[in-house]
Chains A and B, each alone.
Chain A
Amino acid sequence: MKLKDILSPFNVWERAAKKPWTIKDPINDRPGAANYRGFHKNDFDKCIGCGSCEEICQNDAIDLVPVEGQETKEGNSGLRPRIDYGRCCWCGLCVDICPTGALTMSNDYTWVADDPEDYRFIPGADKTKWQDATKGYKRDEGIALINYDRVKMKEIEPENRDKSFIEIVKGYNKDQAMKEAERCLECGICIATCPAHMDIPAYIAAIRDDDIENAFRILYETNPLPEICGRICTHKCETVCALHHNGEPLAIRWLKRYIADQIPKDKYMEVLGTEHLADPILDRKVAIIGAGPAGISAAYYLAIMGYQVKIFEALPDSGGMTRYGIPEYRLPYDQIEKDYDYIKSLGVEMQFSTRVGEDISLEELHRDYDAVFAGTGLHLGRSTRIPGSDNKRVYFATDLLREVSLGNEIDVAEKIVVIGGGNVAMDITRTLARLQNIKYGKVDVLTTSLETEDIMPADREEVVEAREEKAVIDPGWGPKEIEISDGKIKGLHVVKCLSVFDEDGRFNPKFDDNQRKFFEADMIVESIGQGMDLSYLSEEIKSGLKFGPRGRIQVNKNFQSDLKWLFVGGDIIQGPDVIHGVANGHVAARAIDQFLKK
C-alpha cells in the first residue's frame, strides 16, 4: 500500500470549492431541445385523415377517430389520429411518415392530469398547453419513409408521333409497375373519390404481390372497362392521393392499365370465372340504349346477374364517346374492343346503327322488355353563337372527332383555330395537328380558351403534349366574332378574358374590350361543351318524367326515373366522363335487379 494512494482520495475536498453543476431551479421549466420528440401536435388544416400514422405505429397507440367539426370530404376522411400516451414510445415514426406534414411533435414534455383517460387525446382537437409550441420534432427534409417520386411513364417522342395516330403512352413494364405500386400508402382516400368506388389499394396490393389475375378480378368488381379507364380515365383518385401533398400522386390510372394489359383477351372468361354465363339464366329482359360506358357497364353487371340484355346503338359500333370522341393516339381501337368484346362474349346482344326514336321507338322497347336503361351521352356540339359561327367552315369538335373515328375524310384547312380549353378541345387540336401534318407537312392550329392556363380544365399533360406536337395554345381570350369575307373565314377576333366565374362560382365571364387579338384562320372548330339529344323521348313519355336543371332527366339515387321501368345514366346525368358512366351503369344494374325482383 502506497502512501500516495492513501492521500490522493482527499483531493475530493477540492471539489467543495468548485461551482456546483446541479440545475439551480428545478421547479421552473427547462425547455426540451429544438428537435425534442415531445407531445404531439396535429395541424388539422393539413391532416387528411389518411391513417398512415396509425398504420406505422408499432405500439398500436394511434387510432383514427371522428372529430367534431371535421367533415368527410373529397380527399379527406374527416378522421383524425387519437394517441394513447399509455402506449406511445415517442419514436416519432408517425411524424416521419405523415405524407402531409400535419403531424409534428412539440418540445414540451411535462403534463400532469388526474384522470388517466386524459392521456388518450386527439392532438389538434383537444386544447393543450403545447399546441402553439414552435419547437419540437419535425420530419427532416433529408429523410423519407415513403417515395414521393412517380415512376416515369415512357412515351413516344413528339417527332415519332405527330404524323400518325399511334398510341403515345407505352405503359409500365412489370418492374416499373411494381415499383410504382410500392408507393401506395393504402390509405384508401381514393376509394371514396372514385365515382365507381374501385378498391384501388387492393388491386395495387395485388400488383405488388404479382398476382395480376387477382388484380384483374378486383377491377371487374366495380369496373368492366379497365383497358379504357386505364388509359383515359379522368383519374379523380389521383387528385386526392395522399402522396400529392408532398410529391407526385400515385399513377393509379397507369397501374390499372398495366393490369388489364397483362391479361390476353382470350383469357378473360377463365380469369373472371364467367364461362358459364353465355346462356342467361333469368327470364327477364333489359333493353339498353347506347353502347357507351354507362350502357355497357349496366349491360355487364346485368349479364353476370343472369339477365337477357340487348343494347341498341345508333352508331355503327360500340363504345360511344370512347370510340367516337377520343382520338386513337390516346385510346387505340383494339383496346376498346378488348373491353367490349368480352362483354359481348357474355351473351350481351348489340344491335348497331339503330337509332331509338327513329328506327325503333322507346315505347316498343318498353313493350318488349322488362326494363330500359338509357345512356345516350352527349353527342351534340354547342355553339359560341358569335357572329359568323354559322359559316359552313365552323365545326363542332364532337362531329369532327366522330368523322375521324368513322374513317371519313375531313377537309382539313391549312390554318385552324380551335375554341375551347377542355380535354375535348385538346383532342381535336391534336387530331387536326396530325391531319395537317399528314396533308401539308406542317402544323398550324391555334387553340384558345376563356380560361387562363392555370385554370384550364384540360389535363396538364394534354396541353404540354399538344405544344410538343407544335400546336399553339393561347388561353385567356373570349371569342367575339368570326370575320368572314366572300363567304370565307378570315379569322377569329378575341378579347381578353379577365375572369370566368363570379364570386358565387357561377359562369359569368368578364372581358376587357381594350385588349384584343385576331387569330387568322380558314377553319374554326368549337369545342365549348356538348349537349344531349333526347329526341327519342316522345311527348307522352316526357309527360311522365320530371326534368332538372339544364334539361336533365330527374332520377333517384339509383338512376331510376319517374317512369319506374326507365333508368337513365352516364353523361346525360353525371360527368361527363367514362368513370361516372361506369359507376352509374353499375348502380342502375343493381337497381334494375331489385326492380325486376319485386
Chain B
Amino acid sequence: MNRDSESKYKGFEADRSKYPQMEKDKPVIDLESQKFIKTWQGPQHPGVTGNMSVELIINGDEIVDAKTHVGYLHRGFEKLMERRRYIQCFPIVCRICVPEPDTNEYCVSAAMEDLAGIVVPEKALWLRTLNLEMSRVGSFLMWLGGQAGSLGMGAIGQWTIGMRDFWLDLFEEMTGGRVYHMYMIPGGVRKDLPEGFRDRTRELIVRTRALLFDIEKTFFNNAIVKARLKGLGVISPEMVTEYGIVGPSARASGIEDDIRINNPYGKYAELDMKMITSDVGDAYARAEVRYQELHQSLDLISQIMDKMPEGGKIQAKLPNVLHWKIPAGQTYVKAESTRGEHGFYMVSDGTKYPRRVFARGASYTHAISVLEKLAVNISISDLAALMVSLHTCPPEIER
C-alpha cells in the first residue's frame, strides 16, 4: 500500500499485484479458495456514518472488494413532498440530514421562491446566511469528532459533540428547535434573533476557537493521525470531475469550487472569504481543509454579527399557504453544505403540490461510487476513517 503522502495524488489506483487475480480488468474472487472472507461493515457499526453498510471481501486485513448497500432509512421525502402543500415541505426536508438540516431548508424554500418569484427581504437573507454558517459549524464539529473517533480517539469526539451542543443551544434560542430547526420558510425566516444573541454567539466563537486550538495540538499534530490519514483515500483532480466529487473533498484535491464564492446566495457576496484548498488530496488534506473551513465559518459568523442590521422585515408576503399554487416551471437551486454542493431540483405543474422534488446530496457519489473505489486495497481498520474522511451522510442518499 502506498503511504507516501507527499507524492502527489498517488495510490488511488488499487495495487492488484497479489490478490485478487484480474481477468479482463475485473477481480476474480473465489470465496471457496479460502483466501477471502466476506464480511459486512454496517448497517449497525460504529465505524459507519449513519445507516448504511459496506459489503467487504477481505484478504487478511486488506479490502479487495467493497460494495455499498443502502435502504436502511428510506423515508421517501421526495415522494412525500409530492403529496404536500408547498408550505408543508419545510418540516420534511430538514430530516434529510440530521447534522446539517439547514441547507435542505434553505434549498427547498429558495426553490419555491425562485419558481414563484418571491423576493426575500434583506434581513431574512442575513438571518438565513447566519443560520447556514452556524449549521456548518455544527456539522464540522460532528465530523471532526467522528474523524477522531474513527481512529480510536473518542475523547475528541466527546469534546466536539459537547461543543456542538452549545451551538445547538444557540439554535434553540434562534429557531425554537435544537436539531431540526424548521427556521427558514418560503419568503424568509420565522423569527428575528432574541436579545443578547449576538454577544452570546461571539462568546461561543471564542470558546470554540479555544477548543479547536486543543484539537490542533492533539489531533492534527499527532504522529498516529498523520500515519493513518496521510495517503489514505487519495482523490486526484481527474477523479473529482469523473465522479462528481464536491465540497471540501474536491477542494482538498485542488479544485477551486465553493458555491458560496462562485455562485453566492444569501448574503455571502457581502462577506469576506477566501477559497480554502489543498493539493494533496488524501484524507489528512481533507481533514485540514475542513478544519480551516470550520475556522472560516466562525469568522463568517463574526462578520455577520457585525454587518447584519437590527430589525427589518423577516418574511416576504406569501399568498394564503393553504391554496398556494406555484406557476408551472422547474428550477435547480444549490448551496454549499459541509459535504459540498447540495441542490434541490423542483418541478411545479401549477397545482398546490410540487410535481417533483429531487434532493441532490454530495453523499450519493461520495458514499457509493467514490467509497467503493477508494476502499479497495486499504486495511479494513482504515475503512471507518476513510468513510468519515469523505464526510458521507446516508440519509442524503435515501431521500
Q: Which residues of A contact B (CB under 8 A)?
A: 1-2, 4-6, 8-9, 11-12, 14-15, 21-22, 32-37, 52, 55-56, 58, 89-93, 96-97, 105, 137, 140, 142-147, 182-186, 208
Contacts and interface: CB of A to CB of B under 8 A. Distances in A.
Contact of A137 (B90, B162, B176, B217): B176
A93 B315 contact: no
Given A21-B162, A56-B321, A89-B91, A8 B222 contact: yes
23 contacts: A1-B226, A4-B221, A6-B223, A11-B217, A11-B218, A21-B166, A35-B173, A35-B176, A37-B176, A52-B322, A89-B180, A90-B177, A92-B182, A93-B91, A96-B190, A140-B192, A140-B314, A142-B313, A145-B87, A146-B321, A147-B319, A182-B319, A184-B323
B107 interface: no
B267 interface: no
Chain A interface helix/strand/loop/mixed: loop
Interface in B188-221: 188, 190-192, 194, 214, 217-219, 221
B320 interface: yes
B61 interface: no
Complex A-B, nearest 10 residue pairs according to Cβ-Cβ distance, in ascending order = A91-B91, A58-B88, A8-B221, A5-B223, A37-B176, A11-B217, A143-B315, A33-B172, A145-B321, A142-B314
Given A6-B223, A56-B87, A140-B190, A185 B314 contact: no
A145 B318 contact: yes
Contacts of A186: 322
B185 interface: yes
Contact of B172 (A36, A93, A144): A36
Contact of B320 (A1, A32, A146): A146
A15 B223 CA distance: 20
Contacts of B322: 52, 55-56, 97, 146, 185-186
B172 A182 contact: no
A435 to B, nearest CB: 44
B38 interface: no
Nearest to B162: A21
A4 B218 CA distance: 11
B307 interface: no
Interface of B: 84-85, 87-92, 155, 162-163, 166, 169, 172-177, 180, 182, 185, 187-188, 190-192, 194, 214, 217-219, 221-224, 226-227, 313-315, 317-323
B320 A5 contact: no
A34 B173 contact: yes
A9 B320 contact: no
Contacts of A93: 87-88, 91
A386 B182 CA distance: 68
A97 B88 contact: no
Contacts of B166: 21
A14 B215 CA distance: 12
B349 to A, nearest CB: 15
A456 B190 CA distance: 41
Contact of B222 (A9, A90, A145): A9
A4 to B, nearest CB: 6
B327 to A, nearest CB: 14
A58 B320 contact: no
A198 to B, nearest CB: 20
Contacts of A4: 221
B41 to A, nearest CB: 27
Nearest to A15: B214
A182 B323 contact: yes
A7 B315 CA distance: 53
Given A2-B223, A92-B176, A182-B320, 9 more contacts: A33-B169, A34-B173, A35-B175, A35-B176, A91-B91, A93-B88, A143-B185, A147-B319, A182-B319
A15 B314 CA distance: 42
A11 B215 CA distance: 9
A564 B226 CA distance: 102
Given A58-B84, A142-B315, A145-B318, A12 B155 contact: yes
Contacts of A58: 84-85, 88-89, 91-92
Contacts of A143: 185, 187-188, 190, 314-315
A14 to B, nearest CB: 7
Nearest to A37: B176
A312 to B, nearest CB: 47
Contacts of B319: 147, 182
A178 to B, nearest CB: 10
Contacts of B226: 1, 5
B168 to A, nearest CB: 10
Given A33-B172, A58-B84, A185 B320 contact: yes
Nearest to A2: B223
Nearest to A143: B315
A34 B174 CA distance: 9
B222 A91 contact: no
Nearest to B83: A58
A34 B176 CA distance: 8
A38 to B, nearest CB: 9
Contacts of A34: 173, 194
A32 B155 CA distance: 28
A97 B321 contact: yes
A170 B54 CA distance: 71
A15 B318 CA distance: 51
B314 A9 contact: no
